[in-house]
Structure 1
Amino acid sequence: MPTTPTARRPGVLRRIARGIAVPLGALASLSTIAIMIAIAIDVIVRNTSGQSVPGLLEMSESALVATVFLGLAYAGVTNSHVAVDLLTEALPRAVSRVLIGVAWIIGVLVSAGFVLATFERAVESTVSNELRQGLVDWPLWPSRWLVVIGFAAFLVVAVVNVVLIVRGEPLLGEDRVDPDLAAAQQARQQVPERGPEQASEGGQS
């Protein structure tokens, strides 16, 4: 029995990338929920008492950082990042894969630069105990480290995708097959094509 894409066991690199990205994606989702709750509470309190809740705005800003940067790796693992594939879809597959590989190599270089730059900034922020002054003094250095973690996780995903391109394997997210779509395709392959004689008999009956 031929092995279907859904039956393949993910390799070590895929498991590592998903093991890093999925928990971070879950945290990004939780931070989004936290922002929604904080905004709702702040609106209710402001409309009833005329004053904002101290710290909610600052907390929402930090949660927004978590939502954006902790979700980067998950978007790369699920292949759900923004992409314009009008050109690559029209090219031969071999040429398309080369261009995608070049794009991911550039992604590795850019991500590595971001990791180094944000790491240095996070260290400076931690040493100086950087604060945001508002209704409360809110520490900014934890958010700086969230940016570093997000870029570092995305760097891992980019490196894994480069390795997969070199091996000629599907990228992260491309190996996920919709069960309904796969079943429909298999059913179409199993239906025998009707010959001219069968078609004419069907029309006479």
Structure 2
Amino acid sequence: MLEGLSKIVGAIEKIASTIAAIFMFAIMIIVFSDVVMRYGFNHPFSWAYDLIALYLMAGVFFLVLSGAFTNHAHVSVDILQQKLPPTAIRITELVTALVGIAVFSLIAYLGYLRAIESFQAGDVMAGAIPWPMWPSIALVPFGAGLLTLRLALHFVLHLISLLTGRAVIALPASHATAEESFE
């Protein structure tokens, strides 16, 4: 059951990461086109900054939160973990997951409430184009909620590994090898 759930969350992470990559490509195209229009034709896009700042950058950030955690692509301070035995590393992973679940579930819940409120109120951004605010706000609970699910899976798998003595989930790889040294 956990393996199936992990595959489903992984598939959602892959789709979200693909959408984030498309958003990043769109940012590059829009910025390049805006520069050409500004300096080549003295007619920049009036909507470019709002679209990028309101939707695309938020999408790039929040859609990759969970995938980055899954792929260990986030910043990790593991200087203490490198000195700990495997059982203690699993315990630190459990504590990390619990703290993350508490923080990101709160962000997801409050973001969800804010997105619903924005949708019901018909909030729009003041400017040349009245961009609706709720799609951008909804990216927050989506990304934080997906990360919360991943952290919960991470917690359960590390707990099972700790209790059974079998490595159901691998320990995080150390970034330092025996050959590397600062001396």
In structure 2, distance between residues paired with 1:119 and 1:14 = 23
Q: CA deviation at 1:91?
A: 1.1
Unpaired runs of 5+ residues, structure 2, are 162-167, 174-183
Deviations 1:44-71 (A, max 9, x none): 1011232321322111111000000000
Aligned in 2, Cα 1:42/1:91: closer, same or farther, shift over 3 Å? same
CA deviations 1:108-140 (Å, max 9, x no partner) are 111110111101111111111111122322221
Residue in structure 2 matched with residue 51 of structure 1 by the alignment: 43
Alignment of 1:1-205 (within 5 A): 11-61=3-53, 62-168=55-161, 169-171=168-170
Amino-acid identity (%): 25
Give, in whole Å, the separation in 1 of the partners of 2:43 and 2:113: 38
8 Å CA contact 1:161–1:171 kept in 2: the answer is: no
Return the index of the structure with the highest Cα Rg. 1
Q: RMSD of aligned C-alpha atoms?
A: 1.8
Q: Is the 8 A contact 1:72 1:154 kept in 2?
A: yes
Contact residue 132 and residue 139 of structure 1 kept, 8 A? yes
Amino acid at match of 2:96: A
User: Contact conserved, 2:115 with 2:134, CA < 8 A, in 1?
Assistant: yes
SS of 2:131's equivalent?
Answer: strand
In 1, distance between residues paired with 2:69 and 2:5? 14
Question: Counterpart of 1:137 in 2: which secondary structure?
Answer: coil
Do the aligned partners of 1:73 and 1:150 also contact (CA within 8 Å) in 2?
yes
Q: Structure 1: where are the runs of 5+ without partners?
A: 1-9, 176-205
1:77 Cα offset (Å): 1.8
Count of paired positions: 165
SS at match of 1:139: coil
Give the deviation of 1:171 after TM superposition.
Answer: 5.0
